Amino acid sequence: MNIAGKALLDTGWDVDQRAVIEADTDARLVVEAGPGTGKTAVACARLAHLINEEDIEASNTWMISFTRTAVAEIRARLHSYVDDASFGIRIATIDSHAWSIHSGHDPNARLTGSYEENITRVIELLKSDEDVADELAQIEHVVIDEAQDLVGQRADLIEALVNRLPSDCGVTVFADEAQAIYGFSDDSIGRRKGGVPKRGKPLLDRLRGVKALGFTTLVLKEIYRTSSPGLRKIFSELRSDMLDKQKHRDGLHGQTAERIRALADQQGLKWTQMKVADFTSDDLLLFRTRAEVLMASQFCDLPHRLRLSGYGVTLPAWLAICFADFIDPFIAERRFLDLWAARIENQAAPHYGPAEAWERLVCVAGRKDGSVDMQRLRRRIGQTRPPVELTLPEYGLHGPIVGTIHASKGREASNVVLLLPNGAEFESIEDEIEETRVLFVGATRARASLIVGESNAFRASTLASGRVHRSARNGKSTMVEIGRDGDITARGLVGRSEFSAADAAAGQAFLTKVADVVTTYKLEADADLDWRYRIRAGNEGPRVGALSRNLTYDLWEILSNRNQKNSHRPPGHVNHVRGLGCATIALSPDDNDLETLNEPWASSGFILTPRIAAFPPFFFSGRR
């Protein structure tokens, strides 16, 4: 037995946890695990036990999770259990696993295909392709996390995968039906995502309903996340109500909200009275809708982080600061440490230092001689879903986290402020039940204390692009979300059509200075850029970028929806655009956009970008 295996056995697992961890290699289990019962730890310990004690090859195990954030947490925890063997475990989101199968077995696979097309093709491969069957025949155990959230095509995919696995391949499925909330989006209350109900039976019903698959159910009961009496009642008693179909009735949402208020450590906080300065980096401020999060962020001038869908994966600023003009094919550790000392110091430094930064680079693109392959690094982090080792878990600067309940699923914090919506309306009892689960998920993110506040639900709309907008009561302005993935591109930062080489250099130099501070920008419509908006630092500062046409198109759509009779136009300038430090855009060596950029970025592929997350007012102009 190795040291990691001994440490694993010495851990104080309870009887239920140990039953899961030490189950037979080929066992097929559905593990019902409520919040705070140690689900993630047990999932990792299950794989670690199989590798350390049952001699299963790490490379023959899969861990499938719902989100990239969960993947990062699982990978870190597994490494502490099984040392270097954890790197052999295929830990990824379901979408990443699907793409791996698709790209590996279909010569016509392409990233530009729609999500539905890609998943449909993977399901076909799972059902009929013998090469896929041969690959899966090597798999000895699969762990599936957050199974209650796998709906629609993702559920179809997992069902096809389980059916195709060898009969002696073990499968451990973790789920909590009380936390099944992904039939809704975080854009509005009481409306299913895209307005379309879930399709087909839930995954758990499918797995349990086929006797030949051989699934049995185990339950984790003991709560470890919190010792607070009120929170423990929310975690247990309220969860029982969520699962008891006999208690599902009209008014369940309002009654659940009242119980959460009664059991919380504090209640009555108004979100309009909240100040980020009153909270610490251990605090999580949760709203129901993304519009509320954007509104809270817009009026906060202190560092904070956002946990919100639609902003893409964030690469830390130090990558661009170190490598903006680095064009050598490889870099040695000594050279990297010199660059860090000269350029990072205390500025834009993450929560880790140069030694760990180097370890992360080596993990992603290391060579046998100990150096880092810069071309490979760019290819890997230039992907739509770059490796989690070099991404940031939240969008913004070190400080309290402000987010939606959906985007915070699976995460926890010492102190949680839960802002409950008022006046929610539902079209059916099913909608009300699922929305009630959203409240339960939000309340169970807390470890130490829960404060319940009130949010003034306001009407906001969402465009087909996902951008949120909200008209002011007086009708004179419209608040519009800025900072979505695709709003700022490499061309908009250092492109030759947008900037001279000198202006691009000035903009990048300014961004380097503000890489770790809150900055206010101004947008200026530019006729030379077909009225796209340039991003200026303050009123007199340098221009640091230009927004893509995505925003311009959406503004015209907003105008069309608001008033089709009158001819209006977007404003010539927009103030109060909040920037939360900076991040990195990395382009693969074969990216076509490189030829449109100024040097040295056209050669290096690393560009610094303002991390904009804003909800400013747009005062639309009158008739032309």
How many CB atoms sit inside 10 A of residue 297's CB?
24
Given the DSSP bridges, would you call strands 90-93 and 61-65 parallel, antiparallel or unpaired?
parallel
Residue type, 107: P
Chain-centroid distance, C-alpha 271: 24
C-alpha 263/C-alpha 486 separation (Å) is 42
Tokens describing residue 136: 């899966």
C-alpha 322/C-alpha 345 separation (Å) is 11
How many CB atoms sit inside 10 A of residue 273's CB?
9
Q: Report the alpha-carbon angle 418-419-423, nearest 5.
A: 135
Nearest Cα to 381, choosing from 397, 355, 363, 368? 363
Residue 315, SS3?
A: strand
C-alpha 225/C-alpha 412 separation (Å) is 9
**Do residues 434 and 181 lie in contact, with contact meaning Cβ atoms separated by under 8 Å?**
yes
DSSP codes joined into one string, 52-95: HTS---GGGEEEEESSHHHHHHHHHHHHHHHGGGGGGSEEEEHH
Is 5 annotated in a binding site? The answer is no
Strands (E), 460-547: 461-462, 468-471, 478-480, 518-526, 532-537, 543-546
Question: Who's near 179: CB < 8 A, 6+ residues apart?
Answer: 35, 146, 148, 149, 409, 437, 440, 441, 444
Is 38 annotated in a binding site? The answer is yes
C-alpha 344/C-alpha 342 separation (Å) is 6
**Do residues 570 and 482 lie in contact, with contact meaning Cβ atoms separated by under 8 Å?**
no
Residue 525, SS3?
A: strand
C-alpha 359/C-alpha 365 separation (Å) is 10
Is 34 annotated in a binding site? The answer is yes
Q: Is 546 exposed, middle or buried (0-12, 13-18, 19+ CB in 10 A)?
A: buried
Given strand 401-404, what is the order of strands in its sheet? 266-270, 446-455, 413-421, 283-287, 401-404, 305-307, 395-396
Is 36 annotated in a binding site? The answer is yes
Is 37 annotated in a binding site? The answer is yes
Residues making up the binding site for ATP: 33-40
Extract the annotated binding site: 33-40
